[in-house]
Amino acid sequence: MLTIILIAIAGILVTIGLVKLVDKFIPSKFKPVLIILLWVIIGVLGYQTFMSIYEPIQFNKIKEKRYTLVIDNLRDIRDAQLAHRQVTGKFSGDFNSLVKFIDTADFVITQRRDSSVIDEELTRRYGGVETTKDIVIIDTLNFVSIKDSLFKGSDRYKTMMNVPVGEAGAKFQLKAGMLEQNDMKIPVFEAFVKKEVVLFDQNKNLIDQENQVISSVVGVQGDAIRVGTMDDVDTSGNWAKFYDTKE
């Protein structure tokens, strides 16, 4: 962008110089047309210079506002998925079943306590001398609605699959499965939307630049806004931490 600005400024300066040369050396009858033409060129170059500064600033404002709304939905999806794994042992790869789960499932509230009981085998082995062994007892105390626990009376989970801004009718893509790691199968999931969908009406060159972001420290990494991954045991998002602090 800096290169474009410098080129435009250089063009303006050169054109202004040409206006002065025309005024000094060109015959009077040709001056009005040439001077008007050169001033038009100056105006065009000035506008391009202004837009090369103004447009990226506006793009970043729009981008951050839209990303914040998208990330809010992705956090809801992650919360719903983590609850699904806690209860069922796996993630869901279908939004309809995930919504149904939130509508109907409960968290089980338990209490763990230590106790002891007679170890009958050891008691027999020691000729009837009573011998005990330690055990852990898990008591079920209560059941709490996942819907109320996570969403506290809101029904926004019913629309969390919809991308809230950008291209009309867009939905998040959702995947779930098992990842084999150290001879164990571990549940994984991923939910994402392409940046070009969220920013569909913005400058294509700026979108291309946004897709090249390689660090989640300063922005959103890669060409999509996502939470979770199918390639690793990770349920975090690929966005910068400051998006989590926005109201």
> Which whole-number Å values give the CA distances from 80 to 99, 125, 131, 176, 239, in the listed order?
8, 52, 47, 13, 19
Residue 50's pLDDT is: 62
Residue 10's pLDDT is: 63
Neighbouring residues of 153: CB distance < 8 A, sequence distance ≥ 6:
none
Residue 215's pLDDT is: 83
3-state class percentages of the chain: helix first, strand second, coil last, to nearest 5: 50, 25, 25
Residue 7 has pLDDT above 60, yes or no: no
Residue 24 has pLDDT above 70, yes or no: no
| In the chain, where the domains are located | 2-52, 61-104+149-244, 107-144
C-alpha of 131 from chain center: 58
Judged by average pLDDT, the poorest of 12-16, 40-44, 143-147, 227-231 is 12-16
Q: Which residue has the higher pLDDT, 184 or 125?
A: 184
Residues in the chain: 247
* Whether 63 contacts 199, CB under 8 Å: yes
Residue 216's pLDDT is: 81
**pLDDT (mean) for 169-179:** 97
Residue 180 has pLDDT above 50, yes or no: yes
Judged by average pLDDT, the poorest of 35-39, 98-102, 160-164 is 35-39
* Whether 179 contacts 230, CB under 8 Å: yes
Residue 222's pLDDT is: 95
Residue 39 has pLDDT above 90, yes or no: no
225: β partners: 193
Q: Which residue has the higher pLDDT, 210 or 13?
A: 210
**pLDDT (mean) for 206-225:** 92
User: Measuring CA to CA, which residue among 189, 197, 195, 188 is closest to residue 219?
Assistant: 195
Q: What is the pLDDT of residues 86-143, one digit of tens each?
A: 999 999 999 999 999 999 987 554 456 666 667 777 667 766 667 777 766 555 555 5
- pLDDT band at residue 64 under the 50/70/90 scheme: very high
Token pair 């979770």 in the structure block, residue: 228
Q: Distance between CA 218 and CA 69 in Å, rounded? A: 18
What is the pTM (predicted TM-score) of this model?
Answer: 0.72
| Count of CA atoms in the C-beta half-sphere (13 A) of 210 | 26
Residue 25 has pLDDT above 90, yes or no: no
